[in-house]
Amino acid sequence: MSTGISFDIASLRRAYAEGTLTPLQVVEEALRRMDDPKHPHVWIEKIGREQLLALAKALPPKPTPELPLYGVPFAIKDNIDLAGIKTTVGCQAFAFAPEKSATVVAKLIAAGALPIGKTNLDQFATGLVGTRSPFGICQSVFNPKYISGGSSSGSAVAVASGMVTFSLGTDTAGSGRVPAAFNNIVGLKPTKGLLSTCGVFPACRSLDCVSVFAGSCHDAQAVLDVAAGFDAGDAYSRALPKCAPGISTNFKLGILPLAQRKFFGDAEAAELYEQAIAQLRDIGGEAVEFDYTPFAQAAALLYAGPWVAERRWALGDFYEKHGDAMHPVVREIIGNAKKYDAVATFDAQYKLQALAQIVAPVWEKVDVLLLPTAGTTYKISELLADPIKLNSNLGYYTNFVNLLDLSALALPAGFRKSNGLPFGITLIGPAFADNALLQLGARFHQALGGKIGVTSMNINEQPLPVKKSPGILIAVVGAHLSGQPLNHQLTSRRAEFIRQTRTTPCYRLFALANTQPPKPGLKRVAEKLPLGIEVEIWSLDDAAFSSFVAEIPPPLGIGTLELEDGTSVKGFLCEPIGLDGAHDITEFGGWRAFRASLAK
């Protein structure tokens, strides 16, 4: 969809600040795009023009820091409440009119975002396909013969076609990831409970997550920053811990062994997965094979266990009284709930817990898993002919994530040459690794390049802003860097990797004499040098910082370092006496480069 207005958040912010664009103009443009005949069946209900214009007029004349999503248009999956607009969950006979918006929707509107409409979905969020809706079948934005993915079908197409900046979906088994892969956009599946599900009609309440579709990791991060947070009204809500898992610049990348890769006959998808591995290696990943068997076994539990009964619970007596109003495939799936009694429920829970114990050691060997989001894709006609089996194939790499309490980020990863359809990967981390996944995802997406969805907008990934950690930030310069001998002194304290950067160019780096392991010393000088020194920024809580500093031997100590972006942070400096006999290695720009030179 070509237009002179770019809907990415950075472009909107810049245009609003410069006065070249107003929220009223964005509303009019969004309304125009929503009627694009090339992308039908996206919307279940559009917000009326007058109501949208009223929302836009209610915003201040210019953006303010209190409105980080000022004038940003977004879409809402129609199992998430928007006050005054009926929620159908893809079933007209079930529809109800909520009096208030879901917590996440209310937060986004309070931050200045503009809700444009409610999007189509696989009925009752049951499916990964986008074909199980009485409101019509969504299609791939690249080829109308192919599925869009689901259940958050309309939400993904709305972003991929450029109708909105971002959208809300939900993800129980992969519904926030598969449609992202099939439409060449980013899909963030946050840690369970990080985004409130208050005001979200449940599929499996114990597993459900509100997900975010966006054109870039930068935009997904901006939405997450607003939408995340503990909600006392949601029994499954969780607060972000003080020290969330991080991913260093030199990270261990978990990949599938060749024998465990399933692409269901899609040779081009297999090739694109291999290319993604190579691309992540290029930006610092060390590939480590892991056994996918227990993950696959956990995934198989989802639709062959009592979590189907949890879907039946959500419908109350509607299933018995109005089952004929349901989509036949959805009715068949949920009808399987009668197979599971309390004994089967506990049996499945025990199996899942055993599998969780088996996979836990994987995170001691890798920082992040790299999987295909889906092994293949299908034509709509193929899916309609075999709806259960092919849907199951699409969930092979997604179903386990919420069951095992993990975070995930779906990313574009190139196109098949034969049919022009996109392929996607998913980065998977432990619970609460969401910000770290977005940081890594931004690096991958920027290196990939290309367009957002099917639009003319280029991927314009910016360096994600450093998250304000509740802990203490410290810059390390030598043996504590990722992959170096003393890095364990940080990781063992659950320190969070924040980013790699450089000091301002007024520091010299020295290789100290007679230290084991070898260490450098950093000294501030008066002259301005050509380049700053490479450092990593880590965050520790108060107790961890105190014990870490206590281990630092002389002549090293902690002072204040100035970084290239003008900010200051605590970091390693060397006492002058320690530089006696030291070798000036400033020309290398960092400890890693110096150590690499010794190995040549």
Q: Is 117 part of a structural domain of the chain?
A: yes
Count CB neighbours of 472 within 10 A. 18
Within this chain, do residues 550 and 414 fall inside the same structural domain, yes or no?
no
pLDDT at 1: 41
Q: Is 266 part of a structural domain of the chain?
A: no
Strand 496-502 and strand 472-476: the pairing is: unpaired
pLDDT at 444: 94
pLDDT at 5: 87
Within this chain, do residues 104 and 206 fall inside the same structural domain, yes or no?
yes
Within this chain, do residues 416 and 511 fall inside the same structural domain, yes or no?
no
Q: Which residues are catalytic?
A: 77, 151, 175
Q: How many structural domains is the chain composed of?
A: 2
Within this chain, do residues 107 and 195 fall inside the same structural domain, yes or no?
yes
268 CB-near residues (< 8 Å, 6+ apart): 416, 417, 418, 423
User: How buried is residue 338: exposed, middle or buried, by Cβ count under 10 Å (0-12/13-18/19+)?
Assistant: exposed
Within this chain, do residues 40 and 107 fall inside the same structural domain, yes or no?
yes
Beta strands in 398-511 (DSSP E): 406-415, 422-430, 472-476, 496-502, 507-511
Q: How many residues does the chain have?
A: 600
Contact 453, 162 (CB under 8 A): yes
Q: How far apart are CA 196 and CA 177, in angstroms?
A: 19
Contact 372, 177 (CB under 8 A): no
Nearest to 476 by CA among 490, 463, 462: 490
Within this chain, do residues 66 and 138 fall inside the same structural domain, yes or no?
yes
Within this chain, do residues 510 and 418 fall inside the same structural domain, yes or no?
no
Bridge partners for 536 per DSSP: 476, 500
User: How buried is residue 486: exposed, middle or buried, by Cβ count under 10 Å (0-12/13-18/19+)?
Assistant: middle
Q: Is 219 part of a structural domain of the chain?
A: yes
Within this chain, do residues 514 and 416 fall inside the same structural domain, yes or no?
no
Nearest to 212 by CA among 199, 227, 193: 227
pLDDT at 106: 98
Q: Is 157 part of a structural domain of the chain?
A: yes
Within this chain, do residues 414 and 537 fall inside the same structural domain, yes or no?
no
Contact 255, 289 (CB under 8 A): yes
Within this chain, do residues 104 and 235 fall inside the same structural domain, yes or no?
yes
Q: Annotate 131-158 with b (16+ C-beta within 10 A) or e (fewer).
A: bbbebbbbbbbbbeebbbbbbbbbbbbb
Q: What CATH number is attached to the domain comprising 41?
A: 3.90.1300.10
Within this chain, do residues 225 and 168 fall inside the same structural domain, yes or no?
yes
Domain, as residue range, for 207: 9-242+410-423+443-448
* Cα–Cα distance list, 320 to 313, 316, 327 (Å): 11, 8, 14
Kindly report the pTM of this predicted structure. Answer: 0.81
Q: What phi-psi label fits residue 58: left (phi over 0), alpha (psi between -120 and 50 degrees) or beta?
A: alpha
Q: Is 500 part of a structural domain of the chain?
A: yes
N- to C-terminal Cα separation, the chain: 52
pLDDT at 467: 52
Three-state DSSP string of 511-529: ECCCCCCCCEEEEECCCCC
Q: How far apart are CA 119 and CA 217, in angstroms?
A: 22
Please give the angle made by the CA atoms of 232, 237 and 242, to the nearest 5 degrees: 100
Q: Is 162 part of a structural domain of the chain?
A: yes
Q: Which residue has the tokens 């917590």?
A: 103
Q: How far apart are CA 135 and CA 123, in angstroms?
A: 9
Q: Annotate 380-415 with b (16+ C-beta within 10 A) or e (fewer).
A: beebbeebeebbbbbbbbbbbbbbbebbbbbbbbbb
Q: What CATH number is attached to the domain comprising 547?
A: 3.10.490.10
Q: Is 390 part of a structural domain of the chain?
A: no
Within this chain, do residues 416 and 523 fall inside the same structural domain, yes or no?
no
Structure token digits, residue 146: 């192919």
Q: Is 345 part of a structural domain of the chain?
A: no
**What does the pLDDT profile of the chain (600 residues) look like in tens digits?**
445 789 999 999 999 999 999 999 999 999 999 999 999 999 999 999 999 999 999 999 999 989 999 999 999 999 999 999 999 999 999 999 999 999 999 999 999 999 999 999 999 999 999 999 999 999 999 999 999 999 999 999 999 999 999 999 999 999 999 999 999 999 999 999 999 999 999 999 999 999 999 999 999 999 999 999 999 999 999 998 866 787 877 899 999 999 999 999 999 999 999 999 999 999 989 999 999 999 999 999 998 778 999 999 999 999 999 999 999 999 999 999 988 999 999 999 999 999 999 999 999 999 999 999 999 999 999 999 999 999 999 999 999 999 999 999 999 999 999 999 999 999 999 999 999 999 899 999 989 999 999 998 888 665 565 555 567 899 999 999 988 889 889 888 878 888 888 999 999 999 998 888 999 999 999 988 988 999 999 988 888 898 999 989 999 999 999 988 788 899 999 999 989 999 999 999 999 889 888 876
Count CB neighbours of 322 within 10 A. 13
